[in-house]
Amino acid sequence: MKQAIQLKENMYWVGVHDFNCRHFHGDLFPISEGTTYNSYLIVDEQITLIDTVEEEFFDIMMERIHSIIGDKPIDNVIVQHAEPDHSGGFVKFMQAYPNAQPYTSNAGVKIMLKQYFREYDYHKVKTGDTLCTGDYTLTFVEMPMIHWPDNMLTYVDKANIVFSNDAFGQHIASYDIFDDAHGLAKCIDRAKDYYANIVMPYGMQVANKLKQIQEMGLPIDMIAPAHGIIWRTYIKELFDAYQEFATFAAKDKVVIVYESVWKHTQMMAEALAEGLGRNSICVKIFKCSLTSPAIIMKELLDAKAILVGSGNYNNAMAPSIAAFLEKLASCKVKNKKALGFGSYGWADVVTKQVNERLVRAGLPLLQDGVVSQNYTPTQEDLDALMELGKTLAAEIKAN
């Protein structure tokens, strides 16, 4: 029988490991070592489950639950988020525990009905509502659009644990379930990866919610998210990192994304990178068609600028660049500047189109004018691009 893992007295992890998961949210987010779907059990006068798991892993969750409570009934189930990786096992759970009282947000009720087509007698909760399970009082805090309308977290007094659902999650799949087993650098890096690819569009909501949580003055010993490890040692560092993520705090760094067939645009990208890099700018350069957007978005989170390059293909930009610019706009990136560049043969139209898309995405341009190249760049052309990189470096460092 698979066993629960104790977090504190009366508090248990009863989730599952998905070691084979390599793509999260469809194919949008590649991950290296799998992930976890975290459910938590509070054993009190009333036994309470916080979140379920993907439907296919329901039996594993139940094994862990039975390892603690045997055949005792579960009195309450908290649905913090209706997304199927957290609620997929809910219907089976209610079949196993038909007398359990479900709690969720108003938005959660609507989404659960739309997904599973079954009515339940939900207790609809809002920020500040509580549930007493005996020795413990659970306080609910709504977190709309972090990252669905229904998200919420649950705070348990006396245990001083925040069950935060998607907030503060990361993809670390390990039986060492606490942060200090993995080191600060790895944990914050994985949290950054998760934030950039799941939460980035909702930075304003994150910043406001962080402020609200801090103003509530709750003593917090642990933060237990829905994916990855549990935070207990690096909580201050986690809050500081999330504050930076939410405000798009940036360093002297530029991300260059390009597409190139005959290497003309690639040569331009590398010359610009050379000029930037020689002048104390951290440069990350990616060929778009060979790189997951998830990797690019993570690097962009703390960059000051992005340069986007494409050749001309039937008077249009490369499809991979068009798709990337669409994603860039959807992520609502703030506090960055941008610039398009590219090569062409007989019609110099695409670089202007790239710049227009960057501006529509809310990214002001680093300079006026079009940075374009007719066919193969000469050494003089490349030297000029390196000099442009130097000029851009000065502007980036000045901001």
* Residues labelled catalytic: 25, 81, 83, 85, 147, 166, 194, 227
* SS3 sequence of the chain: CCCCEEEECCEEECCEEECCCCEECCCCEECCCCEEECCEEECCCCCEEECCCCHHHHHHHHHHHHHHHCCCCCCEEECCCCCHHHHCCHHHHHHHCCCCEEEEEHHHHHHHHHHHCCCCCCEEECCCCEEECCCCEEEEEECCCCCCCCCEEEEECCCCEEEEECCCCCCCCCCCCEHHHCCHHHHHHHHHHHHHHHHHHHHHHHHHHHHHHHHHCCCCCEEEECCCCEECCCHHHHHHHHHHHHCCCCCCEEEEEEECCCCHHHHHHHHHHHHHHCCCCEEEEEEHHHCCHHHHHHHHCCCCEEEEEECCECCECCHHHHHHHHHHHHCCCCCCEEEEEEEECCCCCHHHHHHHHHHHCCCCECCCCCEEEECCCCHHHHHHHHHHHHHHHHHHHHC
CA 219, 171, 177, 13 torsion-angle sign: positive
